[in-house]
Amino acid sequence: MPSGSKSGALEPVDDETSPATVRKAAAADEAALLRYIAAGDRKAFDALYRCYFPRLTRFLERVMRRPHAVEEVLNDTMLVVWRKAGTFNARSKVSTWIFSIAYRKALKAIKRFDDPVEPDEERVESTEPGPEQELMHRQRSKLLLQQVARMSAEHRTVIELTYYHGCAYREIAQIMDCPVDTVKTRMFHARRRLRQFLADRRQEL
Amino acid sequence: MAGRVLSFFKSPHQGVQELLPWFLNGTLEDEEAASVEKHLQSCPVCREELQCLRAIREEYLENEPLPQAEAALARLRPRLDETATVLPPLRRAGGRPAPSSAAASRSRRGLAVQLPADWVKFAMAVQFLLIFALGWVLLQPGRTDLPYRALATAGGLERPSGSAVVVFDPNAPQREVTRILRASGAHVVDGPTVSNGYVLVVPGPQLDAALERLRAEPAVVLAEPLQLERPR
């Protein structure tokens, strides 16, 4: 059964509004949720699933580039969370743990697929028509995403975890099970490519 | 491998350049952030790089509406029941019959054939008792708000006046969220969290007005001030 207090997870800090403090509070709450799940609590699992579904869907879409396989890998990930909640090591964050499971599952799934994936060129046209400026913005955004999609899974993962999921580089190293310098280097190369892409586009305009 | 070389012959400037993406997302340790800030003051190249990263991030974050969890969760549920059959008997109590999973019913049949009838009766009795007990635990009031406890009850952490938390409907498009945040007049200091929450800072006297505006938006699930009291 769930037991133990949250106080151990919350260290006193000087600045209570700092993002780090808020993140610690959220992490302590998720750890509590995981203890309920370890005790077989379905409602707690549903709550965690709903919390993570949007993030994991997006993460897996970006890492795998195969939308049809996302739900399967996501559910496999959450099944591991359900089965292994009791083994969660409270020294890392719940999100780091879940994302590392998802990342491993995604890499395995990518290996299973032999088909080469081309970046999705059609989706821009399929979006609902909006004001012209907004449409142009979305179009540009899609082009950038296509650039990211052409990178390796490792580079895509670092970008996605940094920009969209707001992960620290140390967390990313844990998720990807690699040294922190590798994370920094991957990010450095990825952003150099994106920067070049933006510069080329500016010249075209 | 070529990238590895960077880390061995890194100048302070290169070190800061590498950290910029995480300076931008606010996840650096205090000391690291301070050294980046200090370097930025004297390095126009890094300032320009930071602007560029900001532009990339803004485009990268432009996204489609978030997907619905319910259908996928419904498809996973039978597999949770399936798991229960391989766990010790006490765990099985939480499980319900899987209506649509052929694999689950196969494994359940297999189990029933192998076990003696008395054991099954005993397990059934224990199972019903535990279903009742767990049901009672689950149906207790106050446990239904689990997804949003992360920020609303942040374990007694204190905030200065003018702090608030806002949680958006997970299906609200990013541009709608951005519009609402801009219109509220508040500054985002953290988020989005896993529950689509943002922590805001509003100039003191305007907090109530900002909360009113936020609550009037259909895409806002929750908008509450954060507590002031120091926990005992």
Q: What pLDDT does residue A8 have?
A: 38
Q: What pLDDT does residue A186 have?
A: 95
Q: Is there a single domain that holds both residue B218 and residue B169?
A: yes
**Of B27, B94, B195, which is closest to A168 when you measure between CB atoms?**
B27
Q: How confident is the model at residue A42 (pLDDT cuts 50, 70, 90)?
A: very high
Domain-located, residue B145: no
Domain-located, residue B230: no
Residue in chain A closest to B165 (alpha carbons) equals: A22
Q: Is there a single domain that holds both residue B79 and residue B53?
A: no
Which of A59-68, B91-100, B201-210 is least confident?
Answer: B91-100
Give the integer Cα–Cα distance in Å for B99 and A121: 40
Q: Which of residues 175-204 of A touch B (CB under 8 A)?
A: 181-182, 184-189, 191, 194-195, 198
Q: Structurally, what CATH architecture does the domain formed by A13-115 represent?
A: Orthogonal Bundle (1.10)
Tokens of A69: 């396989």
Smallest Cα distance from A19 to chain B, Å: 5
Number of separate domains in chain B = 3
Give me the domain span that covers residue B94: 70-137
User: What percent of chain A has pLDDT above 90?
Assistant: 48
Which of A19-23, A76-80, B45-49, B172-176 is least confident?
Answer: A19-23
Are B60 and A55 a contacting pair at CB < 8 A? no
Instruction: Quote the mean pLDDT of chain B.
Output: 70
Q: What pLDDT does residue A127 have?
A: 47
Name the class of domain A122-205. mainly alpha
Q: What is the CATH number of the domain that holds B194?
A: 3.30.70.80
Which of A31-40, A62-71, A161-170, B128-137 is least confident?
Answer: B128-137
- Return the higher-pLDDT residue of B127 and A97: A97
The DSSP annotation for chain A comes to -----SGGG----S-TTSHHHHHHHHHHHHHHHHHHHHTT-HHHHHHHHHHHHHHHHHHHHHHH--HHHHHHHHHHHHHHHHHHGGG--TTS-HHHHHHHHHHHHHHHHHHH--S------SHHHHSPP--HHHHHHHHHHHHHHHHHHTS-HHHHHHHIIIIIS---HHHHHHHHTS-HHHHHHHHHHHHHHHHHHHHHHHHH-
Give the integer Cα–Cα distance in Å for B32 and B17: 12
Domain-located, residue B231: no
Are B146 and A47 a contacting pair at CB < 8 A? yes
Q: Give per-residue pLDDT as tens, B139-150.
A: 665 544 444 444
Tally helices (H) and strands (E) across chain B.
Answer: 11, 4
Q: How confident is the model at residue A155 (pLDDT cuts 50, 70, 90)?
A: very high
Mean pLDDT value across residues B123-136: 78
| 3-state SS assignment for residue B180 | helix
Q: What pLDDT does residue B9 have?
A: 64
Residue in chain B closest to A181 (alpha carbons) equals: B7
Domain-located, residue B154: no
